[in-house]
Amino acid sequence: MKLISQNYGKARVRVLKVFRDGTTHTIKELSAKVALDGDFEASYTQADNSLVVPTDTMKNTVNVLAHEHLGHDNEPFAQALAGHFLRKYPQVKRVTVELDERVWSRLSVGGRPHAHSFSQTDRARPFTSLVLDANESRLESGVRDYVILKSIGSGFAAYPKCELTTLPETHDRILATSMSARWLWSGEPVSFQAANAAILQAMIVPFAENYSPSVQATIWEMGGAALKACPEISQITIAMPNLHCLLINLAPFNRENRNEVFVPTDEPHGQIEATIAR
């Protein structure tokens, strides 16, 4: 019997930091996961804990380094975390850091953004992922559960059909998805926050403006727009599961449904993914 692979760490370490600029505050909330890979085999096979960094220590490290290093960009904080464990513990050979962000937006009071009151209404979750060892650094940023919809300008036709095909062709359908995307950094932008926002904004343009003959074709256009918008990324992976909107049959009630009333559903859904590189 042998141990094939192993890693361990601390997950869902939640931290919220308040940045104060006079009376104006900004909120940053993260859920961090840190995983260590290295010389820990004896802890599994020989019950030897002499090299095991306690996960409670890892949690404390996230909190202390958040106080010292967490700013408006998440990526430098991930680099500070991973670098700390790699430098401090020689038994650690690889560190993986994942940061999921909860976005807080300012409340509007009297028609003006409030200085220190916020709401959490956006389902989309920005994230950062870093794998660091002595030879390689792989830094990715992205977003999960970014729900977007267009009510026109989408179709699906000219596909192969067989005796089990029931889907009718259409050139007028709702296109909705809960998109997840992650992009790989090959350089460092002046501002990760600004670059991430530019990437998302660039991707939305072909989604909204171009006719979509398929989700696959739209992913290709969105990925190309992201690469064009940010020269510091080398590739992007996009997953766009369908949020289907099924036309309701109103004929039994002597009514014609002219693409107006639908049943939204996400089960089962098409799962379309692609990685696009320069």
Q: Just list the catalytic residues.
A: 10, 55, 244
Q: State the CB neighbour count (10 A cutoff) for residue 88.
A: 10
Main-chain phi, psi angles of 224, to 5 degrees: -60, -40
Question: Rounded distance, CA 184 to CA 226, Å?
Answer: 11
Locus of tokens 């306690």: 54
DSSP annotation of 80: H
Which of 76, 192, 71 shows the shortest CA–CA distance to 137? 76
Q: What is the torsional sign of CA 74, 76, 79, 85?
A: negative
Would you say 60 and 10 are in contact if contact means Cβ atoms under 8 Å apart?
A: no
How far is residue 254's CA from residue 259's CA, in Å, rounded to a whole number?
Answer: 16
Find all residues with CB under 8 Å of 122, minimum gap 6, and list them: 103, 105
Q: Which secondary structure element, helix H or strand E, spans residue 180, and what is its range?
A: strand 175-185
- Greatest CA separation for the chain: 76
Angle (CA) 237-240-242 rounded to 5° is 170
- Candidates 98, 83, 66, 81; CA nearest to 182 is 98
Say how far apart CA 37 and CA 124 lie, in whole Å. Answer: 30
